[in-house]
């Protein structure tokens, strides 16, 4: 019987060690993920607030539209939601769903940018005299 008790104690200790390691690792990972999400939140809010007013899309500099600012505000709000959920506790399924939703929101912004780029290309093809040289675009972005 004594041998069985030794194995039980051994297994209990290993489980305890594993739990402590998992708690530490989970806390460390949550902290690291929250830091990364915080950096993304700062970028999204700066775009939404208008602190960033131009972006490079497909090699061209374009102004960020009010619709795009609204979409970036939605992205920032969702990032804050993910950070809040992650701060409360780590639920892998919920975290993956939150990240999938965040990716979907960013994809919407990319689609809007692609539409604007296509419309801009069609407009410049209709009137080639209105095309800007690459240096003119750079001068606009440095203004």
Q: What percent of the chain has pLDDT over 90?
A: 29
- pLDDT band with cut points at 50, 70 and 90 for residue 81: very high
Residue entry with tokens 């009010």: 66
- Using an 8 Å Cβ cutoff, are 82 and 99 in contact? yes
CA-to-CA separations, 48 to 5, 37, 67, 77, 102, in angstroms, rounded: 62, 16, 10, 10, 16
Over 90: is that where the pLDDT of 38 sits?
yes
Over 80: is that where the pLDDT of 6 sits?
no
What's this model's pTM, rounded to 2 decimal places? 0.66
Range of the structural domain that residue 30 is part of: 2-142
Give the burial class of 124: count Cβ atoms within 10 A of its Cβ; 0-12 exposed, 13-18 middle, 19 or more buried.
middle
Residue 31: alpha-carbon gap to chain centroid? 16
Over 70: is that where the pLDDT of 136 sits?
no
Q: How many Å apart are CA 137 and CA 143, to the nearest integer?
A: 10
Q: How many Å apart are CA 55 and CA 97, to the nearest integer?
A: 28
* pLDDT number for residue 58: 80
Residues 6+ apart with CB under 8 A from 47: 55, 64, 68, 69, 72
Q: Domain count of the chain? A: 1
């Amino acid at each position: 019987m004594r041998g069985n008790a030794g194995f039980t104690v051994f297994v209990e200790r290993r489980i305890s060690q594993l739990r402590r390691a998992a708690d530490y690792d989970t806390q460390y990972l949550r902290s690291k993920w929250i830091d990364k999400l915080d950096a993304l939140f700062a970028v999204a809010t700066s775009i939404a607030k208008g602190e960033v007013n131009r972006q490079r899309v497909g090699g061209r500099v374009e102004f960020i539209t009010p619709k795009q600012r609204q979409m970036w505000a939605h992205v920032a709000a969702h990032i804050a939601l993910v950070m809040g959920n992650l701060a409360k506790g780590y639920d892998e399924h919920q975290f993956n769903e939150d990240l999938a939703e965040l990716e979907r929101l960013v994809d919407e912004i990319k689609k809007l940018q692609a539409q604007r780029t296509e419309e801009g290309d069609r407009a410049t093809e209709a009137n080639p005299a209105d095309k800007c040289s690459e240096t003119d675009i750079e001068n606009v972005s440095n203004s």
